[in-house]
Chain A
Amino acid sequence: MAECGSRYQLTVIAQPGIQSEINQPDVYESPASYFEAVYQIFQYGEQADSDSNSHFFNIDGQTINLRFAGSALTPRIIPALEHIQGIPTNSPQLTICLWDSASTHFPFPLHPWSGNSSSAFGEGFHSHEGRIHFNDGRFRMYFYMDDMILMLDSHEGKAIFWVEDAQKLPYHESGAPLRSLLDWWFSNNDRQFVHAAALGTGKGGVLLIGRGGSGKSTTTLACLDSPLQIAGDDYCLLTSKPSPYVHSLYSTAKLDPLDLNRLPHLKTDISNADRLESEKALFFLYKRHPQKIIKGFPLRALLIPCITGETQTSIKPASSIAGLMALAPSTIFQLVNEGSTSFDFMSRLVREIPSFHLDLGTDLAQIPATIIELLSNYQ
């Protein structure tokens, strides 16, 4: 990279033997100018790679357009979202631009705090171990070391998802891709990203809430052989008006390998069977069980699962505060938007929707039957 007056040039080798230069300012005066510079890099990458591709999804009536520069990230992002594919449009509410530098050779421009010298680019971008999160109400930006950068312009409905190397994307990002960007975009007073599994039918369903290891995923997968459908295993979107409603985001499920013995018939569905020593088993449910995935349903109850070791599964009323205790901390500490806003949403929710303790038995067939019986009281 060579310094060029008040601008610098990024030298890009988009294809072997083909070298191009992109002029970028060395000082960014505002979040908008920085965002635009990043977007320009993406556009160059998108145009330069013949494998660039675009996909549309629909969540709660909003069309999300994912534009990939190159194709390395596509198979790591798209499969979890296939069940909510939408119709292409020229005016999506949110456009997310995705690329990685390893495959496209288009790097990320200077960090906005990196000063105005060319040497600051290398040092500023690569040498820091910190993480930076910026939010001025319109722009949100998140810099995670030199591995991942997320940016959202909430006014323009435009977002950036960049990683250094698509091949190094963690498996759980493929299971619940783009969740921070979607959380930023969707969460407001009437919508809330939550950490919960969601099971039901078109007439209504439940959220399974609680910390990891409480039995949410086992319950979710145990319902594959039941009339219940799945709207999510780890995360889903809630709307509150006119009444609480669950919207599916991801058609995946993750299960601790130790729990696979309880669901041995699912072993052939595992997408990462060769990496279970270090990863949870990841299932792309829509691919193998498309009829079991539902895009959403009215929310009828909050269930707090607990593995008991008993044979029987039973259900009993829980206090609203127990529901809030199970739902709020794990959501807030995984999916922080504005913590107080999220907490207010969930506080209103537990006042409106009844909570129950779901004591999970070892006879897995009883679990969906118990939930179905509960739901019959609310339909």
Chain B
Amino acid sequence: MSYSQVFRINSPTIIHEVIEGEAVIINMEKGHYYSIDHTGAGIWELVDKRASADEIIQSITQCYAGDPKSIQNSVIDFLAELQRENLIVPTSKETDDQTHSGNVITPNERLPFTPPELHKYIDMQDLLLLDPIHEVDESGWPNVGPDIN
């Protein structure tokens, strides 16, 4: 992963909310949902502000006490995990109308750095499969599904 890489939240498939330093993320297509802790929620908010990987590393390093190399590796690993789960997707900063501006974590807190963790929950997946009302497609008339001749 390039350190200059910028990501965006994979909306509208992904809906998310950060409250009091914790985040809930829901994948509307797969029925998975996630929680992330304080460090991870901070990274998530920086991604949402279209900060580059390098900017995120700098911000987290300034805000948390810890070995810079360990922080760098943890942030890169976490971004890669978010990407594997299709929660974030690469984008180019030039075309973005949202830009990173400042930290989302108060620097003077300087809490010890703990590696971010992505907690994944799949217990709703069956609901999504069972309840057909969620097969939403909202374009065109008539709107023919892929299995319709």
Measured in the bound complex, the distance between the Cα atoms of B132 and A171 in whole Å is 17
Q: Decide: A332 and B22 in contact? CB cutoff 8 A.
A: no
Q: Decide: A130 and B147 in contact? CB cutoff 8 A.
A: yes
CB distance from B32 to the nearest CB of A (A): 9
Please indicate the chain B residues that have their CB under 8 angstroms from the CB of A112 in the complex: 141-142
Q: Which residues of chain B in 8-39 are interfacial with respect to chain A, using CB atoms and an 8 Å cutoff?
A: 11-12, 15, 17, 19-20, 22-24, 26, 28, 31, 33, 35
A354 within 8 A of B: no
A87 within 8 A of B: no
Q: Decide: A329 and B26 in contact? CB cutoff 8 A.
A: yes
Please indicate the chain A residues that have their CB under 8 angstroms from the CB of B144 in the complex: 113, 132
Please indicate the chain A residues that have their CB under 8 angstroms from the CB of B109 in the complex: none
Contact residue among A30, A130, A144, A333 (Cβ-Cβ distance under 8 Å from B128):
A333
Q: Decide: B141 and A31 in contact? CB cutoff 8 A.
A: yes
Choose among A113, A321, A343 the residue with the greatest number of B CB atoms under 10 Å from its CB.
A321
* Segment touching B, from A74-82, A134-142, A306-314, A368-376: A134-142
B149 within 8 A of A: yes
Q: A133-B137, A333-B131 given as contacts; is B20 within 8 A of A319 (CB)? A: yes
CB distance from A329 to the nearest CB of B (A): 5
* Segment touching A, from B48-56, B59-67, B96-104, B119-127: B119-127
B136 within 8 A of A: yes
B1 within 8 A of A: no
- With CB as the reference atom, state the residue of chain B lying closest to A29: B141
B138 within 8 A of A: yes
Q: Decide: B127 and A330 in contact? CB cutoff 8 A.
A: yes
Q: A131-B145, A133-B135, A329-B26 given as contacts; is B127 within 8 A of A351 (CB)? A: no
Please indicate the chain A residues that have their CB under 8 angstroms from the CB of B23 in the complex: 321
- Our count of residue pairs bridging A and B at CB distance below 8 angstroms stands at 106
Measured in the bound complex, the distance between the Cα atoms of B131 and A336 in whole Å is 10
Please indicate the chain B residues that have their CB under 8 angstroms from the CB of A221 in the complex: none
Q: Decide: B28 and A319 in contact? CB cutoff 8 A.
A: no
Q: Decide: B148 and A128 in contact? CB cutoff 8 A.
A: yes
Question: Which residues of B are interface residues toward A (Cβ below 8 A)?
Answer: 11-12, 15, 17, 19-20, 22-24, 26, 28, 31, 33, 35, 121, 123-124, 127-128, 131-138, 141-149
Measured in the bound complex, the distance between the Cα atoms of B140 and A31 in whole Å is 10
Q: A112-B142, A136-B141 given as contacts; is B147 within 8 A of A128 (CB)? A: yes
Q: Decide: B124 and A330 in contact? CB cutoff 8 A.
A: yes
Q: Decide: B124 and A350 in contact? CB cutoff 8 A.
A: no
Contact residue among A134, A144, A321, A350 (Cβ-Cβ distance under 8 Å from B142):
A134
Q: A133-B137, A329-B33, A339-B15 are in contact. List 5 more A-B contacts (CB 8 A).
A: A131-B135, A134-B137, A142-B132, A329-B26, A329-B121
Top 9 nearest A-B pairs (CB, nearest first) are A130-B147, A113-B142, A321-B22, A112-B142, A131-B132, A333-B127, A347-B17, A333-B124, A329-B33
Q: Decide: B19 and A332 in contact? CB cutoff 8 A.
A: no
- With CB as the reference atom, state the residue of chain A lying closest to B35: A325
Measured in the bound complex, the distance between the Cα atoms of B15 and A30 in whole Å is 32
Pairs across A and B, CB under 8 Å, 17 listed:
A112-B142, A130-B146, A131-B145, A132-B137, A134-B141, A136-B138, A211-B124, A321-B35, A325-B35, A328-B33, A332-B15, A333-B128, A336-B134, A339-B26, A347-B17, A347-B19, A351-B19
Measured in the bound complex, the distance between the Cα atoms of B121 and A325 in whole Å is 10
Please indicate the chain A residues that have their CB under 8 angstroms from the CB of B28 in the complex: 332, 336, 339
Q: Which residues of chain A in 18-67 are interfacial with respect to chain B, using CB atoms and an 8 Å cutoff?
A: 28, 30-31
Please indicate the chain B residues that have their CB under 8 angstroms from the CB of A321 in the complex: 17, 19-20, 22-24, 35
- With CB as the reference atom, state the residue of chain B lying closest to A321: B22
A334 within 8 A of B: yes
A324 within 8 A of B: yes
Please indicate the chain A residues that have their CB under 8 angstroms from the CB of B147 in the complex: 128-130
- With CB as the reference atom, state the residue of chain B lying closest to A30: B141
Q: Decide: A332 and B26 in contact? CB cutoff 8 A.
A: yes
Measured in the bound complex, the distance between the Cα atoms of B137 and A110 in whole Å is 20
A340 within 8 A of B: yes
CB distance from A195 to the nearest CB of B (A): 10
Contact residue among B12, B121, B124, B138 (Cβ-Cβ distance under 8 Å from A340):
B12
